[in-house]
Amino acid sequence: GAGVSQSPSNKVTEKGKDVELRCDPISGHTALYWYRQSLGQGLEFLIYFQGNSAPDKSGLPSDRFSAERTGGSVSTLTIQRTQQEDSAVYLCASSLARSGGQFFGPGTRLTVL
Amino acid sequence: GENVEQHPSTLSVQEGDSAVIKCTYSDSASNYFPWYKQELGKRPQLIIDIRSNVGEKKDQRIAVTLNKTAKHFSLHITETQPEDSAVYFCAALAGGTSYGKLTFGQGTILTVHP
């Protein structure tokens, strides 16, 4: 079956604009995760969902970041009033359960000018 | 919360040699430890994982060992090939109230010279 998909693959925006990033997990995967990876850096945890609920939002960098998941499937990560430091690759992953291996999507490269 | 330290940050080997990457973790409740390989410009790919009820797991040229008492785990790649060149990340799955959250190490850039 299809793997994790993300859209858009690239997004260029101006400082102060809002952006929405979308993640479509592997069918049947109940857990969904968002990470951020800056150039040449490691993976920074942002938030994860078990079903539609988000037990752990501790990684969200500020209140400009929010995420939701509906129907236990697609998730959107919204960044309001984008700043240049938000520029990074945003990666989504999904797993069958919280205890399982996570499979990553191709990422969305966000550039804030 | 969980803290994962990974060493070395860079590793350069000759083709055919072995490569070892080590990680330590802080949360004794962590019970799942995956390893990811990330090639330049691509997504991280799960290459092997281990759970806390076993000490070693092998998959062809790749093996992972876990020492729960010392809270460290290692990735071993034997007979390295140029296509093994990539960034490798270890991770630990948090337990307790943060169950489900993966904390990643800082990554190791592995270069295999032909």
Distance CA(A48)–CA(A25), nearest Å, equals: 12
pLDDT, tens digit (0-9, with 9 covering 90-100), for A14-65: 999 999 999 999 998 999 999 999 987 889 999 999 888 887 788 899 999 9
Distance CA(A91)–CA(B82), nearest Å, equals: 26
Where would I find the beta strands (DSSP E) of chain A?
5-7, 10-13, 19-24, 31-37, 44-50, 53-56, 65-69, 75-79, 88-95, 103-104, 108-112
Give the pLDDT confidence score for residue B38 in this predicted structure. 96
In a 3-state reduction of DSSP, which class is residue B28? coil
Q: Is the pLDDT of residue B96 over 80?
A: no
Q: Which two tokens stand for residue B12?
A: 């350069």
- How would DSSP label each residue in A84-111? GGG-EEEEEEEESSTTSPPEE---EEEE
Chain A: give the shortest CA distance to residue B18, in Å: 24
Q: Which two tokens stand for residue B72?
A: 């460290």
Give the pLDDT confidence score for residue A1 in this predicted structure. 55
Q: Is the pLDDT of residue B64 over 90?
A: yes
Let me know: does B76 contact B61? Beta carbons within 8 Å: no
Chain A: give the shortest CA distance to residue B81, in Å: 23
Please give the mean pLDDT across all residues of chain B. 93
Let me know: does B84 contact B19? Beta carbons within 8 Å: yes
Q: From B100, which residue of chain A is nearest by alpha-carbon distance?
A: A98
User: With an 8 Å Cβ cutoff, is B96 touching chain A?
Assistant: no
- The residue-averaged pLDDT of B2-14 equals 95
Give the pLDDT band of residue B18 (cuts 50, 70, 90).
very high
CA B18 to centroid of chain Cα atoms: 15
